[in-house]
């Protein structure tokens, strides 16, 4: 994957909450930091408008990014983003330095395909439920996929799509599956229509009453005196 994003940054020398607040309010900048590798963390500031425009592209969150600080270019990925809880404005960004020869872990978004023509939806009236919207993968920086596709077309009501059902690109592995079969998490499923679910629950409840010896009025047979515990 080639670099498709470049951000111009300035070295940030004025540290602390007060300094960060002044950057955001007066200069229209966003405080950020570049860290990782064998170098010390580098505080920087980014133009808010440039950063927010880049964030509109989904690929920005998984692509290798080039942050230009003066005459130096840093290869990074976006590691963390802090937003204002009420206004949703970007408050701070963290960028991790990368090495082309060192694998890293990154969360990649899922693109669910053919949901409208899914068998469980179109033919059986079910509803798709997403258990997660991204997958954590491990790979070399050049192998990071922009997204992972999950085709829902043949998923029927009651079926669950697990991590192990997804074909990942070559050189890309699931972090969870690497821990063992017990970590084969659900990604999506197709739920039965509400009326069908309620009917099935009613049948199961009735079957349970019969198995317990219940009659139509819910009474149970009395135990023989000899079988009762004192």
Q: Each residue of 65-87: pLDDT tens digit?
A: 999 998 899 999 999 999 888 87
Residue 204's pLDDT band (cuts 50, 70, 90): low
pTM equals: 0.74
- Alpha helical stretches, state H, 109-220: 119-122, 194-211
Query: Which CATH number among 3.40.190.10, 3.40.50.300, 1.10.3210.10, 2.170.120.20 corresponds to the domain 105-195?
Result: 2.170.120.20
Kind plus residue range of the DSSP H or E element containing 139: strand 134-139
Burial label, 92 (beta-carbon count in 10 A; 0-12, 13-18, 19+): middle
For the cut 70, the answer to whether the pLDDT of residue 32 exceeds it is: yes
In the chain, domain spans: 5-98, 105-195
pLDDT mean over 78-99: 90
Query: Which CATH number among 2.40.240.10, 1.20.210.10, 3.40.50.10440, 3.40.50.300 corresponds to the domain 5-98?
Result: 2.40.240.10
**What values do phi and psi take at 113, rounded to 5?**
-105, 150
Give whole-number Cα distances, 32 to 13, 53, 100, 229, in Å. 12, 16, 23, 72
Residue 19's pLDDT band (cuts 50, 70, 90): low
């Amino acid at each position: 994957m080639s670099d498709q994003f470049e951000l111009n940054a300035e070295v940030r020398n004025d540290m602390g909450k007060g300094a960060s607040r002044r950057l955001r309010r007066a200069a229209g900048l966003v405080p950020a930091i570049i860290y990782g590798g064998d170098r010390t963390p580098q505080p920087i500031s980014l133009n808010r408008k440039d950063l927010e425009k880049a964030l509109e592209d989904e690929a920005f969150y998984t692509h290798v990014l080039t942050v230009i600080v003066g005459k130096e270019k840093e290869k990074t990925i976006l590691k963390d983003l802090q937003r204002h809880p009420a206004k949703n404005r970007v408050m701070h960004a963290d960028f991790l330095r990368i090495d082309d020869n060192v694998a890293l872990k990154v969360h990649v978004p899922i693109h669910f395909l053919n949901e409208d023509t899914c068998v469980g939806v179109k033919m059986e009236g079910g509803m798709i439920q997403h258990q997660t919207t991204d997958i954590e993968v491990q790979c070399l920086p050049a192998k990071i996929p922009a997204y992972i596709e999950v085709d829902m077309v043949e998923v029927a009501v009651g079926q669950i799509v697990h991590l192990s059902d997804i074909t990942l690109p070559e050189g890309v592995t699931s972090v969870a599956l690497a821990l063992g079969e017990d970590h084969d998490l659900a990604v999506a499923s197709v739920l039965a229509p509400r009326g069908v679910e309620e009917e099935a629950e009613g049948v199961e409840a009735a079957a349970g009453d019969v198995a317990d010896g219940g009659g139509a009025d819910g009474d149970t047979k009395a135990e023989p005196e000899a079988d009762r515990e004192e």
